[in-house]
Amino acid sequence: MKKLWGISVAIGAMVAFLLAGSAHAGKVYKMRYSHGLPPQHYMAQIQAKWAKLVEEKSGGRIKIEVYPGGTLVNDKHLFEALSTGSVEVGGIYNFYLEPNVPEFAGLAPFGVAWNHDVNVAVSESFAKKKGPAWECAKAAEKKNLKVVAWLPWGEAGPRHGMAGTGKQIILPEDMKGRKIRPLGSLAPKVYKVYGGRPVYLSGAELYTALQRGTVDAVLICAAHMIQRKLVEVTDWYTGNFPWGTYVSTIICVNRDFYNELPPDLQRILFEAGEECRKEINETGYLLLNKFLEQTRKLVKVHILTREEQAKWTNAAAPFVVEFVKSKGPGCVRVYNEVQKIMKEFGLPYHFVQK
């Protein structure tokens, strides 16, 4: 009798397990994906591809509705929406993560000049689960975000810069009296020293703000000149800016929602992210080169020389160490990890003592 009872219990447990697995297998998980870019933007398209890949790889067990252009949540409020779970997934910029996850501030403070190789290497550190991007991703979990993809824009070098109206900004002293949109929290301090006035805007506000004179200049990449049509409301573009925030779109899932997913679906989010990361690393900077050439035909373009770039780097230098240290040991660790990569590629580097 005891033996039969034991067999019955074992069978019952197995049936319950199989039923639970069957319920998981049959459940459809719906996700709303928010980002701030117009649908035609090349980085919007790679995010749309990620969503499509996830749906395909999951066999329809995950359904993702993409809301571009800040139509669901404004960029500036996306962190809060993701961390609280009012939005399940979103593409958030690294500089919008910085205020709440200070490790992101160590990637490239204003005045640090990456090249394309560094841009790629930082993103690869996420895939390898070792290095600066991975450190940032681990820190984001403490804020209830699960990073599943790291998509760099490929904008290092001439492909990123400043655009504006009126007198072209080439040297730090050209900022005097100008209203400028910053990225990251260090840039405004440098602006103010040289008489500039920081004006905070989301990407969706750039066109109108430049058109109305709310801002005189903005830090952007060459894609925005064409895909956000900023060539229509600017007079010039200055490339090769060490602007201190080499933008990456970080795909984050609300951690509570992520933890509800079965392990196989969790893996799919990362697999799709890795496919998209590799693709954008190969194609992003080439697209930006094309946008830069188009920009040359429509507005005045100046690419900073090494000497001119060094003046910006030197202007920021007194602030960098203090800034990185003020953000805490995690930020210092990430900053130094990036500096190791820069050293490997023969670029100027500087370590901050903990």
In angstroms, the CA 132 to CA 103 distance is 9
Closest CA to 253 of 239, 230, 270, 241: 270
In angstroms, the CA 118 to CA 278 distance is 14
pLDDT given at position 19:
44
Confidence of residue 244 (pLDDT cuts 50, 70, 90): low
Burial of residue 259, with CB atoms counted within 10 A of its CB: 0-12 exposed, 13-18 middle, 19 or more buried = exposed
Domains located in the chain, CATH noted = 28-154+246-290 (3.40.190.170), 157-244+291-318 (3.40.190.170)
Residues 59-90: pLDDT tens digits? 999 999 999 999 999 988 999 999 999 999 99
CA angle, 288 then 222 then 292, to 5°: 65
pLDDT at 320 exceeding the cut of 90: no
User: pTM of the prediction?
Assistant: 0.84
pLDDT given at position 243:
63
Q: How far is CA 23 from CA 20, 55, 62, 295, in A?
A: 5, 18, 14, 54
pLDDT at 238 exceeding the cut of 50: yes
Q: How far is CA 10 from CA 2, 19, 21, 23, in A?
A: 12, 14, 17, 20
